[in-house]
Amino acid sequence: MHFSTVALIGRYQDSGLDTPLRELAAVLANANRKVLIEEETAVNTGVNEFPTASLDEIGSQADLVIVMGGDGTMLGVAREMAKYEVPLIGINHGRLGFITDIPIQNAQAAIQAVLGGQFTIESRSLLEGSVVRDGQTLTTALALNDVVLNRSGRSGMIEISVELDDEFMYKQRADGLIVATPTGSTAYSLSANGPILHPSVNAFLLVPVAPQTLSNRPIAIPNTGTLKLTLTEIGRAETGASVHFDMQTWSNLQLGDQIIVKKAQHQTRFLHPKGLSFFSTLRKKLHWNIMPSS
């Protein structure tokens, strides 16, 4: 991969993003790569010395997209770029940074290594979720991390009937239910006591949020099936429930509404400099290598 055209997308709400963006753009230009700056990033950071492009233009023109920000920024870009299958690199300008895994202080050296062919590439599955009411699809969206069905802020528990490929699995009363990808297994799912899945595992997770009974445990299911989550009870019907696609909210679900979740047609491709791996990220972010003191 030569990466003749490289696009830069930043979380432009961050103060001080203009300097590292300019420095990285200069590294790319000095390496004789064409540089594109995402148009909203350019307007809000003042980095306008390079050609600008919309997300669709980036998807059709760029060979590589570098995202500078936090995981939330990467989630949004990944959903937009999935259909173009453009590889992504994440530079962490946020806090935890599981998928924006290159520290910003290492950004220039990491990108130079990638341009020199020193990288690994991996594919990550996405979810496609739809809200169906009375046989009519109301909305459809992608999620790299998770699709979450949960109660509204003022309602009581909800009850969900869960089917996989039209086979009944169980009914569950809880505050919510998380359907997570392996990528999302280190996000909200992890905080709800779900297991960690390696990105290469072909499975999705079903993780309850504060279930009524302790017998409701997380379960991994094949990612080749179709899930149907039917809302069968709402604690207070007038307050409804919501579904979230990577935190993008669709509110006011009604009794009988169905959330249909399946593996998306396209995948996201991440590039990593050699030496960075899923396990090294877990050791760093979750402190796997730190033993308890006596």
Q: Which of 270, 82, 129, 279 is nearest to 197 (CA)?
A: 279
SS3 of residue 200 by DSSP:
coil
Residue 288 DSSP code: T
Surface-to-core class of residue 132, CB atoms within 10 Å of its CB (0-12 exposed, 13-18 middle, 19+ buried)? middle
Phi, psi of 110 (to 5 degrees): -65, -45
Q: Is 71 a catalytic residue?
A: yes
* Alpha helices, H only, the chain: 18-30, 39-45, 55-61, 71-81, 107-115, 188-191, 278-286
Surface-to-core class of residue 119, CB atoms within 10 Å of its CB (0-12 exposed, 13-18 middle, 19+ buried)? buried
SS3 of residue 225 by DSSP:
coil
DSSP 127-154: EEEEEEETTEEEEEEEESSEEEEEE-TT
Angle of helix 107-115 versus helix 18-30 axis, rounded to 10 = 30
Catalytic option among 56, 71, 246, 257: 71
Find the angle CA(273)-CA(278)-CA(284) to the nearest 5 degrees.
90
The whole-angstrom separation of Cα 234 and Cα 136 is: 21
Give me 270's structure tokens: 């991440």
| Residues identified as active-site | 71
